[in-house]
Amino acid sequence: MNERAVPSGDSAHAAQRHLAVPFTDVELHDGLWAPRQQAIRERTLPFLHSQYEKNGLFEALDVDSPPGPLRIPFNNRPNTAVMYWDSDIAKWIEMASYALATRYDAALDAQIDGLIERIAKAQRPDGYFNTYFIRREPAKRWTNLRDWHELYCAGHLIEAAVAHAQATGKTGLLDVMRRYVDYIASVFGPGADQKPGYCGHPEIELALVKLYRHTNERRYLDLAKYFIDERGRQPHYFDQEAIARGEDPAAQYYGTYEYSQSHVPVREQKQVVGHAVRAMYLYSAMADLAGEFDDASLMAACRTLWADLTTKRLYVTGGLGPSARNEGFTADYDLPNETAYAETCAAVGLVFWAHRMLLVERDARYADMMELALYNGALCGLSLDGERFFYDNPLASHGEHRRWTWHRCPCCPPNIGRLIASLGQYAYSTGQDEAAVHLYIEGSVRLPVGGAKVALIQKTRYPWQGAIELSVEPDEPAEFALRLRIPGWCRSARLEINESALDVEPLLDRGYAHIRRRWRKGDQVMLFLDMPAERVYAHPAVAADIGRVALKRGPIVYCLEGVDNEAPLHRIALPRTSRIAAQIDEAMLGGVGVLTAEAVVAGGESDALYRTEPPGARPVTVRAIPYSFWNNRDAAEMSVWIREV
């Protein structure tokens, strides 16, 4: 579609690219993630299934029966959440497929097949599939890409199809979606009889890259690139489309094309703006395509946007998008805590983007961010029991913010679910004669490297402890490099191979200890990451955090929760000199690292509302838990940022 758009696999850049290991080749055993994957299998999947049933999502698949009243009316918005139900079903299938690969379950397998059958049955003869438009508004197909999420829904179904094929080898959904994509490729493109359009909500672009990687068919990649390259061009497609509907293009619900990152062409975008999930999905696809096409200008845009996000517009938790109004970004350093929107899906999206940047640039700062968003902003969205969810993730609450079991826009539960269910693929990658370990999680992976098949077996209590034991098990001796991430927060790391110490410093390459040698079965690598509890301060331009400190240990951001501390929390202050002690509390929340410190509580000696003497301060021991574990007990106050005195 674009003559210059030739993937080149032989440049210097391309040589450094890594590939994620397939999720099917990783097992996680540790105390944090394995129980979460188990909860997803045993609780989240059946629970969401019953919620979808109850709320009409599955019934919507029966496109030939009369639709009945719209369950979620438009309410002056340009769209209804019913328009995205296909994407929720898709994410459920994707999550279920990952779960199936981790542990086979015949009933779940059959349940997925049943859904795929219904989807196949609903597909139109021309390949089109969208339950909302087929059933309710057939005449409006492709008439409002700006607001109506048709290609977005297709994208999630493509992701589901690829995951299902990878997990099961079955191609039922994949076949449906390939037919649909063929049809989409006929509708959209530069031809005179085609629409030069793209979706208001990016998603299909990254999905098409996945489809390309699974099928090796270039046209999927080209279509993704077409959507990315068209985005934000003038004359603006959304303007034309609005005029065609007889509407004023300026009468947009959110007032600006920044909302959908279509205000300027993507290579000209310098600031992370608009709806945060859209931004993350868009940038993920941009990174994917920059890697596939070795596209320097696209990668430069990604790096500029990355710098903007991480130095001006990101919560300390890896949460992003402070405002509920646009579910997205506002102004530099505008990071309020109590009203932080920081949608779970946005942090999940940051994991996606960071992972893709990492695979292109093999730089540990992306892995650091991936890990930060994963353990904090994203994980926070799912309860320990797997059946309660956060949509928005404030960094402070008076106790009124609680996990819910259903939301009229139920996008977040299957999003954090599919991330966790497929987490293994984020931990390891392979490049030219090298394998990299990005995340330290107890478990194992099988991967091909240096001409051998190698098993890597991790034993660790990370993130609660910094010691990692790595067994390298090639099926035959082989020379290759192992890249072990030395996290950015770690000031001191020690390394031993077969009980001989190695100097880490000279091995470092973009944040990884790079160990090239001939590996033999039974080789043992020991990595010790110094992991003290640390105080974190925000840039002083962040008004909400001035005079405050956050506590962090390793990748984990901590918070004070009311159930563990004397309420109200705002009275608590941490003296700058207090020592912060770390320990694992095996009895708490399934076993988590906790921090304790001596703090002070402002006392109310007098009933006077205003007085000329400052409140007194009495000592108190505070206990902090990982932020992402909060509200798994009774409703209570919570605060990440603590006053420092």
- Which amino acids are annotated catalytic? 327, 411
167 or 549: CB nearest a copy of itself? 549
Smallest gap, in angstroms, from Cβ of residue 613 to a copy of itself?
7
Q: How far apart are CA 548 and CA 233, in angstroms?
A: 43
Smallest gap, in angstroms, from Cβ of residue 272 to a copy of itself?
13
| 19-20/428-431 β-pairing | antiparallel
Q: How far apart are CA 195 and CA 178, in angstroms?
A: 19
- SS3 of 36-56: the string is HHHHHHHHHHHHHHHHHHHHC
CB 449 within 8 Å of CB 455: no
Q: 106-122 and 85-102 helices cross at what angle (nearest 10)? A: 150
Q: How far is CA 598 from CA 252, 639, 645, in A?
A: 52, 17, 12
Smallest gap, in angstroms, from Cβ of residue 627 to a copy of itself?
14
Q: How far is CA 107 from CA 86, 113, 170, in A?
A: 22, 10, 16
CB 468 within 8 Å of CB 460: yes
Q: How far apart are CA 428 and CA 440, in angstroms?
A: 9
Per DSSP, the three-state class of 320 is strand
| 478-485/434-437 β-pairing | parallel
472 or 542: CB nearest a copy of itself? 542
121 or 491: CB nearest a copy of itself? 491
Range list of β-strands (E), 189-274: none
Beta bridge partners of 390: none
290 or 573: CB nearest a copy of itself? 573
- Which residue is listed with tokens 């009243």? 69
Taking phi over 0 as left and psi of -120 to 50 as alpha, with beta for the rest, 450 belongs to left
CB 512 within 8 Å of CB 482: no
Q: How far apart are CA 190 and CA 282, in angstroms?
A: 21
Smallest gap, in angstroms, from Cβ of residue 459 to a copy of itself?
29
Q: How far apart are CA 132 and CA 207, in angstroms?
A: 21
Query: Site residues (CB under 8 A) for a copy of itself?
Result: 310-312, 314, 316, 534-543, 546-547, 549-550, 568, 570-571, 573, 576, 602-604, 606-615, 643-645
404 or 537: CB nearest a copy of itself? 537
Task: Measure CA of the first residue to CA of the last residue in the chain; give whole Å.
Answer: 61
CB 504 within 8 Å of CB 538: no
Give the number of other CB atoms < 10 A from CB of residue 577: 7
Give the number of other CB atoms < 10 A from CB of residue 415: 29
Smallest gap, in angstroms, from Cβ of residue 28 to a copy of itself?
28
Report the sign of the C-alpha dihedral through residues 538, 315, 588, 638, in that order. Answer: positive
501 or 581: CB nearest a copy of itself? 581
Smallest gap, in angstroms, from Cβ of residue 532 to a copy of itself?
10
139 or 610: CB nearest a copy of itself? 610
Smallest gap, in angstroms, from Cβ of residue 299 to a copy of itself?
22
333 or 406: CB nearest a copy of itself? 333
Smallest gap, in angstroms, from Cβ of residue 537 to a copy of itself?
5
151 or 636: CB nearest a copy of itself? 636
Smallest gap, in angstroms, from Cβ of residue 191 to a copy of itself?
45
Beta bridge partners of 596: 581, 623
Half-sphere exposure of 430 (CA within 13 A, CB side): 17
Q: How far apart are CA 378 and CA 98, in angstroms?
A: 18
- Which residue is listed with tokens 């299938």? 93
77 or 491: CB nearest a copy of itself? 491
CB 303 within 8 Å of CB 322: no
Query: By C-alpha distance, which of 71, 45, 42, 47 is closest to 59?
Result: 71
Smallest gap, in angstroms, from Cβ of residue 53 to a copy of itself?
34
